[in-house]
């Protein structure tokens, strides 16, 4: 029964240690918020059908009627603790041409990148910043490139235009040093569809937390679990130590050293002898071998055996006590 209890305690300890390591040991060292937006206006080609040649964002548009887009990229950064910020941004576009393969799966076959606004940096900003950058996208320019590709290779392709505001910022605060964060606003504009729907590939608002791993990997669960695992081991060591003095070990000793040990029924006469008690059985064996004499075993009681070596006027005694 006792062995089963010790096994259960050990298993419980291992489970707690596992839970401890799986438990998140991180702490927040910095938190911030970003807000993104990209309102745009659709500028139509001259015509007599639309009373207004400028249409607002968020609608569907006849692709052949569009001349250009005016996009106003907006990016807001707010720190929730004192910090110094440096940021760099640029605006770029990417023209992507696609065709269907033999399995009718659309594959990208052509890419062309453009830098619309080169890298621009701002530094020594405290805690927050607002970036607002308008850009005009001439769709005729990109449509002409698609038409040139189709004419050159005598193919018909699907084409999309991606427009990006790319931003990276370096944050320095009390707990955060030279942390670089990269972010992006992405718009996707179809060029070869009959109907144009501008898609926003980004999340408008984000609350972010930067965490740091706790250097102390042991937590409450680890500590308790480790104690429960060590407890049966300690009991085992104590038991082994006690067994060194048990009848089981005296039997093993008698068996191992049967040529050296002589068992007697009468207690040796220790009168006129100087008594020396030894704490280690091996020391008794050394004394016996050095003096080429036997070890005398005398059973004092069911719980005690005394082992003796007599050398001249000395008697060396090692006691084995059974619990």
pLDDT of residue 246: 44
Cα 50 to Cα 39, 44, 138, 172, 295: the distances in Å are: 21, 9, 20, 52, 120
pLDDT over 60 (residue 225): no
Of 211, 214, 216, 223, the C-alpha closest to 19 is 223
Region label for 312, one of left (φ > 0), alpha (ψ between -120 and 50) or beta (otherwise): left
Running DSSP on this structure, what letter comes out for residue 189? E
How do residues 16-49 score in pLDDT, each as one tens digit?
556 555 555 677 889 999 999 999 999 999 998 9
Among residues of the chain, what percentage have pLDDT more than 70? 81
How do residues 44-88 score in pLDDT, each as one tens digit?
999 989 889 999 999 999 999 999 999 999 999 999 989 999 999
Determine the Cα–Cα distance for residues 241 and 146; give it in Å rounded to an integer: 87
CB 270 within 8 Å of CB 298: no
Determine the Cα–Cα distance for residues 103 and 211; give it in Å rounded to an integer: 46
Q: Averaged over 160-182, what is the pLDDT?
A: 94
Helix or strand holding residue 61 (H, E): strand 61-62
pLDDT of residue 244: 46
CB 169 within 8 Å of CB 181: yes
Q: Angle at which helices 220-243 and 2-22 pack, to 10 degrees? A: 150
Region label for 272, one of left (φ > 0), alpha (ψ between -120 and 50) or beta (otherwise): left
0.75 exceeded by pTM: no
Q: Averaged over 152-171, what is the pLDDT?
A: 96
Of 87, 83, 38, the C-alpha closest to 58 is 38
Q: Is 102 helix (H, G, I), strand (E, B) or coil?
A: coil
């Amino acid at each position: 029964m006792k062995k089963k209890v010790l096994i259960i305690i050990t298993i419980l300890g291992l489970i707690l240690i596992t839970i401890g390591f799986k438990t998140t040991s991180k702490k927040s060292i910095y938190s911030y918020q970003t807000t993104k937006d990209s309102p745009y206006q659709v500028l139509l080609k001259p015509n007599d059908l639309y009373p207004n040649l400028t249409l607002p964002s968020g609608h569907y548009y006849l692709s052949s009627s569009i001349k250009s887009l005016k996009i106003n990229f907006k990016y807001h950064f707010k720190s929730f603790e004192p910090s110094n910020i440096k940021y760099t941004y640029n605006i770029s576009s990417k023209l992507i041409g696609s065709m269907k393969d033999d399995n009718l799966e659309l594959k990208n076959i052509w890419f062309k990148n453009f830098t619309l606004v080169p890298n621009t940096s701002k530094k020594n900003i405290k805690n927050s910043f607002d970036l607002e950058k308008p850009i005009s996208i001439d769709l005729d320019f990109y449509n002409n490139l698609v038409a040139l590709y189709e004419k050159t290779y005598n193919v018909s392709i699907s084409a999309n235009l991606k427009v990006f505001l790319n931003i990276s910022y370096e944050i320095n605060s009390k707990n955060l040093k030279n942390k670089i964060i990269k972010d992006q606003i992405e718009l996707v504009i179809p060029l070869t569809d009959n109907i144009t729907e501008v898609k926003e590939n980004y999340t408008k608002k984000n609350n972010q937390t930067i965490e740091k791993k706790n250097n102390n990997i042991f937590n409450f669960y680890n500590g308790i679990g480790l104690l429960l695992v060590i407890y049966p081991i300690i009991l085992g060591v104590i038991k082994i130590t006690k067994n060194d003095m048990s009848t089981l070990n005296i039997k093993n000793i008698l068996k191992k050293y049967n040529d050296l040990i002589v068992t007697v029924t009468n207690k040796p006469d220790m009168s006129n002898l100087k008594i020396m008690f030894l704490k280690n059985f091996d020391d008794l064996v050394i004394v016996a071998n050095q003096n080429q004499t036997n070890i005398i075993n005398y059973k004092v009681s069911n719980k005690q055996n005394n082992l003796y070596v007599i050398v001249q006027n000395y008697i060396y005694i090692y006691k084995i006590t059974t619990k």
